Amino acid sequence: MKIEQAYEGSIERKIYSSDQIAATIDRLAARIAADFTGQPLLLLGVLKGALFVVADLSRAVGRVSGGPSEITVDFLCVSSYGNATRSSGEVRVLKDTGEMVTGRNVVVVEDIIDNGLTLDYLRGLLEERKPAVLRTCVLFDKPYHRQADVRLDYVGLQCPDEFVVGYGLDYQELFRNLPYLAQLKPWVFSS
């Protein structure tokens, strides 16, 4: 049985299809590639959610003619949700970068921005390391509960004020591997 079929009974509605997400990734890649033409670039994904975004974005940036001279990918892992559906507001670094950031062109890649606290914390942490350029890229923007005024350089799609899953976003570590963005049925949270 395909995983999508296994999850089908839990999905209230699809918000963005895999084709819409792919087109958005291509649009973001074109903008990033234009901004870093002929320069090396470090895409720094925020795990676990940005895994799929970084994989697809790095390939898309690499396909753009005249883009960066080289692309390096690295990850850091933070936690602010635990098993909840809302961020706790406390950001913990669980895994730091493996690559040096100092003097490099860095684009921090997030799956979603909600209250902005995680990205605000990461910008501060990374700015202390003195990158040459530090930009942010977020696939899904959910601005309804923003608590931090964080600068977003590359923004993909507006997300509804719902708890969403798929394309890296999870509920209790499930649903990340769906190729689309979806809203869960309310009963899923009570089971």
- Residues taking part in catalysis: 114
* Euclidean distance between CA atoms 159 and 181, whole angstroms: 9
- CB neighbourhood size of 45 (10 A): 26
Structure tokens at 18: 């895999």
| Alpha helices for 18-158 (secondary structure H) | 18-35, 51-63, 117-127
Question: Element (H or E) spanning 137, and its range?
Answer: strand 133-141
Task: Give the span between the Cα atoms of 181 and 16, in whole angstroms.
Answer: 5
Separation of alpha carbons 12 and 37, rounded Å:
42
* DSSP run (H or E) holding 179: none
* End-to-end CA separation in angstroms for the chain: 22
